[in-house]
Homo-oligomer: A and B are copies of this chain.
Amino acid sequence: MAKFCYDYPHPALTTDIALFTIRDEQLAILLIRRGGEPFQGCWALPGGFVDPDECLEECALRELEEETGITGVYLEQLYTFGKPDRDPRERIISVAYYALAPCEVLTPVAGSDAAEVDWFNLDELPALAFDHQDIIQLAQQRLRAKLDYSTVAFGLMAETFTLGELQKVYETIRGEALDKRNFRKHILTLDILAETGATRRVGNHRPAKLYRVAHPGAVHYIR
Contacts and interface: CB of A to CB of B under 8 A. Distances in A.
B82 A55 contact: yes
Contact of A55 (B6, B77, B84): B84
A1 B9 CA distance: 12
Interface residues of A, number: 30
Interface string A194-212: 0000000000000000000
Interface of A is mostly: loop
A54 interface: yes
A134 to B, nearest CB: 13
A84 B4 contact: no
A36 B13 CA distance: 26
Contacts of A53: 84
Interface of A: 1-13, 49-50, 52-56, 77, 79-80, 82-84, 91, 93, 95, 149
Given A13-B13, A13-B93, A56-B80, 14 more contacts: A3-B5, A3-B7, A4-B10, A10-B13, A11-B11, A11-B50, A13-B82, A52-B91, A53-B84, A55-B83, A56-B93, A80-B80, A93-B93, A93-B95
